[in-house]
Structure 1
Amino acid sequence: MIKRFSLLFSLLLSFSVSAQTLLVLGDSLSAGYQMSAEEAWPSLIPIELEKRNQFVTVINASVSGDTSGNGLSKLPALLQEHQPTTVLIELGANDGLRGFPPNVLKNNLNQMISLIQSSGAKAIVMQIRVPPNYGQRYQQLFENVYPQVSNETDTPLIPFFLEQVILNEEWMMSDGLHPKPAAQPWIAEFIANELEPFYPL
């Protein structure tokens, strides 16, 4: 009887772990700009997660050029279709490059988090930083949105991977904005490490 219970518990635990689904909602930094989808870090992260005994199905819903507003408009259908257990939001870079008001970004992030939480999933936000194209004041206001949203919604905030990648010139494309395929395995490992406190996903 005890053996049967142990076997049943093991099967249930295995099912629980295997049922993890991570939806990545991002822009070109996650979509795999100028590379195949298989080379982009969301396609590589299941391998990194498996090394940590996390068996996760990853859905990459990232689209190059997307803003936080684009992500918000697509999110309800994505949640309904994929029913993820966790959603990683990697959006805002295009908002910043286009000079969108920080309060618009904040409102969009808040709405996305609310939708995710209402669906029963866990929301995780990635900090985004932008070049000082519009001056240091705008840059600071923009970047402050992420910790504000994290604190106000009690949502985990993980660091921006590009801050480390950009230090290696061989990993960056000539535009100075996008990582090359060579950087993607490192990014996958970096994100898997940052997600570790929130396992299971």
Structure 2
Amino acid sequence: MAIERSWPSLLSSDLKERGFDYTVVNASISGDTTGNGLDRLPTLLEQHKPSWVLIELGANDGLRGFHPRIVTKNLQQIISLSQQAAAHVALMQIQVPPNYGQRYSQAFADIYPNLADENQIPLLPFFLEQIIMKEEWMKEDGLHPKEVAQPWISNFVADNFALYLD
């Protein structure tokens, strides 16, 4: 899908509708892992000087079976670097499909609330739980939302993120 139709690109206007005038920079790259995001983060922080960093990373780590300790370490570094750059940080919950086994799935899911608690940062809920139930909103791979779902995701994120904005 065109980047302009993805939920991060729609988020600025959805936040404006809620009274928040933020420019959202979509720094995501399809297929990125937490390690990829961490590698690119210092340049992005310097370039954009964000007031907020919304972290929605880790799904590709989980799908590749990365150990939760690696994901936790990378996400913690992303949080720390963002805070050192004077940005507020919010984290979005990520989960892996249940076929990864209960032990791995739970260990992976626990990363996000644990980091949010340890760093005293907002944790936004996992949005795919709502989308996965609507077959017409999911691609055939069962992992990625279609373009038709992007406005709903943007609204969901805006509703949850706006709770923390000033």
Match of 1:167 among 133, 136, 143: 133
Q: Which residue of 2 aligns with 1:194?
A: 160
Q: Residues of 1 paired with 2:138 and 2:84: CA distance? A: 38
Q: Which residue of 2 aligns with 1:42?
A: 8
Deviations 1:148-173 (A, max 9, x none): 11111111110111111111111111
Aligned-pair RMSD on alpha carbons?
Answer: 0.8
Q: How far is the alpha carbon of 1:124 from its aligned partner? A: 0.5
The AA in structure 1 aligned to 2:51 is T
SS of the aligned residue for 2:140 comes to coil
Q: Which residue of 1 aligns with 2:102?
A: 136
Q: Residues of 1 paired with 2:12 and 2:57: CA distance? A: 21
Q: Residues of 1 paired with 2:12 and 2:97: CA distance? A: 31
Tell me, yes or no, if the aligned pair for 1:44 and 1:185 is still in contact at 8 Å: yes
Q: Which residue of 1 aligns with 2:73?
A: 107
Q: Which residue of 2 aligns with 1:95?
A: 61
Q: Which residue of 2 aligns with 1:75?
A: 41
Q: Residues of 1 paired with 2:15 and 2:163: CA distance? A: 12
Unpaired runs of 5+ residues, structure 2, are none
Q: Which residue of 2 aligns with 1:24?
A: none
Unpaired runs of 5+ residues, structure 1, are 1-34
Match of 2:18 among 29, 52, 59: 52
Q: Residues of 1 paired with 2:15 and 2:39: CA distance? A: 29
SS of the aligned residue for 2:110 comes to helix
> Larger deviation: 127-136 or 166-175?
127-136
Structure richer in strand, relative to its length: 1
Taking structure 2 as the reference length, what is the TM-score of the superposition? 0.97
Q: Does 1:150 align with 2:116?
A: yes
SS of the aligned residue for 1:179 comes to coil
What is the number of residues matched between the two proteins?
A: 166
Deviations 1:95-123 (A, max 9, x none): 11111000111111111100010000011
Tell me, yes or no, if the aligned pair for 1:102 and 1:145 is still in contact at 8 Å: yes
Structure with greater Cα Rg: 1
Q: Residues of 2 paired with 1:158 and 1:138: CA distance? A: 21
Q: Residues of 2 paired with 1:101 and 1:196: CA distance? A: 32
Tell me, yes or no, if the aligned pair for 1:44 and 1:188 is still in contact at 8 Å: yes
